Amino acid sequence: MSARGRPRAFDRDAALSAAMDVFWRKGFSATSMAELCEAMGINAPSLYAAFGSKADLYEAALRHYGQAASCAVWGGFKAAPTARASIEALLMASAANLPGDDHPAGCMVTLSAVTELGCERLGALAVQARAEGEAQISARLRRAVEDGELPAGVDIAAIAAFYACVQHGMSIEARDGADRRKLETIARAALAAWPGLTDAGAPPPGA
Amino acid sequence: MSARGRPRAFDRDAALSAAMDVFWRKGFSATSMAELCEAMGINAPSLYAAFGSKADLYEAALRHYGQAASCAVWGGFKAAPTARASIEALLMASAANLPGDDHPAGCMVTLSAVTELGCERLGALAVQARAEGEAQISARLRRAVEDGELPAGVDIAAIAAFYACVQHGMSIEARDGADRRKLETIARAALAAWPGLTDAGAPPPGA
DNA sequence: GGATTTATTTAATGAACGTTACATAAATAG
DNA sequence: CTATTTATGTAACGTTCATTAAATAAATCC
């Protein structure tokens, strides 16, 4: 059925992973085909045959990242029994994973295409990926209201926007060299807002 | 004394401002000399004579931004009577200024060199500029402890890191299209953490 | 006035960019 | 074995990149 013609001489997934690493570290515009070829250990024609173009490769790398790293960050979120525990798990997993210990620092999705509108399609892709994160938090909070964990008057959109914002900010801190401990400190500080945010009708102290 | 030779035919500050706009919108790597020349209304040799190189121009633009926009954001912070009011002013001014109404969205410093390490010197410059923001918050908190506004046991570094992180995150939200109201909602949510963070020895609820 | 200094325009520089022809190599199909 | 199909390496494609040489224009200095 399959395997007609000369077989591919490289591991497609490993090559994609190597490309992801370079893109993650340097961004789309600042990464050249030459760098990609060297990191992936293949020549340009092989790259084009397997992935289409530089932009297509970036898109594939972004999706690859979404499946791999995001899994580590959102796994605890989905498994946690309460909304509060979900958000704590999300922030703590972010703190654990964002520092660049054995990979580039910060979340590739968060940092992607923020400055580089060189390719419009890629920018839209990153925006959408970030929006999905906030939507997940919203959905979790909505469920918590339905479950009676949170009062009905709670401002779901505000809470989701806030914690998404903190998580995005943590990527920048990580990029600037923040270690796990510092990110956990930030996470705990953000969780200190929880009681104030989840008191039913009461307006937040800052209003 | 001055003004020997043929006088410059363009306004240096206006040209720098135009360059800042392009860099702010597209980032360093994704911006070409051709785009800069067109936006600035000058030819390449004039640009090189006045600013040195593309990287030098970016550095000048970043400093120009720091004086102009940061002023609007940090002005209220410095003038506020209490630490709490300073941080509220900082976040609210950020919410008011970050949306891209008559300029690119998000803070140029925050978004700068996040993805683009094409030029190492510029990356370091942006990291330093961001660190200065957090240092300002720390200094303000320290003063508040000295003044007796905050108890001595308060974790200054944690609070500063948290609010710096939120402010950085707001730039990403703004870049993704968040308007002033949404950013103000985030700011108020972040301020909801204030009581929990400034209770003296008590560990934050998330610990 | 002529000499000097600085800015501008035009045009070109070599290098690097992303991408692709082309010939060759390695597999299966018949 | 021959024909077909797919991948690979080499080498080139035309374009764009950041940068600059050279000639001209506009100001001050003496």
Lowest mean pLDDT among A58-62, A78-82, B41-45, B67-71: B67-71
For residue B116, the model assigns a pLDDT of 61
Q: What is the pLDDT of residue B199?
A: 86
Q: What is the rounded average pLDDT of the residues B19-44? A: 96
- Please give the share of chain B, as a percent, with pLDDT higher than 90: 84
> A25 at the B interface (CB within 8 A)?
yes
Task: Pick the range with the lowest mean pLDDT from A52-61, A140-149, A161-170, B61-70.
Answer: B61-70
Minimum-distance CB partner of A182 among B27, B161, B207: B161
The secondary structure of residue A6, as a DSSP letter, is S
Sequence-ordered list of residues with C-beta below 8 angstroms from that of A194, at least 6 positions apart, any chain: A84, A87, B205, B206
CB B124 within 8 A of CB B85: no
> Is the pLDDT at A71 greater than 90, yes or no?
no
Q: Which of A116-130, B60-74, B140-154, B157-171 has the lowest mean pLDDT?
A: A116-130
A2 touches strand C (CB under 7 A): no
Look at B189 and A161 and tell me if their CB atoms are within 8 Å.
yes
Cβ neighbours of B112 (radius 10 Å): 27
pLDDT score of A148: 96
| pLDDT tens, position by position, A17-29 | 999 999 999 999 9
Chain B residue numbers with beta carbons less than 8 Å from the beta carbon of A22 are none
Q: Taking CB atoms and an 8 Å limit, are A111 and B116 in contact across chains?
A: no
Q: Which residue is nearest to nucleotide D27 (CA to C1')?
A: B6
Protein CA at A34 to nucleotide C1' at C22, angstroms: 21
A113 pLDDT higher than 80: no
Question: What does the pLDDT read at residue B1?
Answer: 45
For residue A201, the model assigns a pLDDT of 55
**A204 pLDDT higher than 70:** no
What does each C-alpha distance from A88 to A3, A72, A96, A182 come to in angstroms?
A: 47, 14, 12, 15
Predicted confidence (pLDDT) at residue B95 exceeds the cutoff of 80:
yes
Mean pLDDT of A39-55: 98
pLDDT value at residue B206: 44
**Nucleotide showing the shortest C1' distance to residue A48 CA:** C19
Across the interface, which of B116, B158, B176 has its CB nearest the CB of A131? B176
Q: What does the block give as tokens for A119?
A: 């390719």
Rg of chain B in Å (alpha carbons): 20
A163: phi > 0 → left, psi -120 to 50 → alpha, else beta; which? alpha
Residue B115 has pLDDT above 90, yes or no: no
Would you state the structure tokens that stand for residue A17, as one six-digit string?
A: 């992973």
Closest nucleotide over all strands to A4 (CA to C1'): C28
Cβ under 8 Å to A: B residues 92-111? 106, 110-111
Q: How confident is the model at residue B121 (pLDDT cuts 50, 70, 90)?
A: confident
Name which of B67, B70, B113 is nearest A29 in CA terms.
B113
pLDDT of residue A206: 44
Give chain B residues 26-65 with Cβ within 7 A of strand C: 42-46, 49-50
User: What is the DSSP code (8-state) at residue B203?
Assistant: P
For B1, the token pair is 């004394």
- Pick from B115, B117, B193: CB nearest A192: B193
CA B135 to centroid of chain Cα atoms: 13
**What confidence tier does A205 reach under pLDDT thresholds 50, 70, 90?**
very low
Average pLDDT in the A169-184 region? 97
Nearest to A172 by CA among B48, B42, B129, B201: B129
User: Is the distance from CB of A41 to CB of A18 less than 8 angstroms?
Assistant: yes
In tens, the pLDDT along A83-102 reads: 999 999 999 999 999 998 89
CA distance A71 to A67: 6
Place of tokens 């979120």: A77
Residue of A nearest to B162 (CA): A186
Residues of B in contact with A160 (CB under 8 A): none
The pLDDT value recorded for residue A150 is: 97
Whether any strand D atom is under 7 angstroms from the Cβ of B115: the reply reads: no
Quickly list H helices, B80-119: 83-97, 108-111
Question: In the prediction, which pLDDT does B205 show?
Answer: 47
**In angstroms, what separates the C-alpha of A9 from chain B's closest C-alpha?**
31
Closest CA to B32 of B54, B62, B10, B56: B54
pLDDT averaged over every residue in chain A: 92
Q: Is the CB of A5 under 7 A from strand C?
A: yes
Least confident residue range of A34-38, B40-44, B128-132, B135-139: B128-132
Task: Answer yes or no: is pLDDT of A35 > 90.
Answer: yes
Q: Do B115 and A27 touch (CB under 8 A)?
A: yes
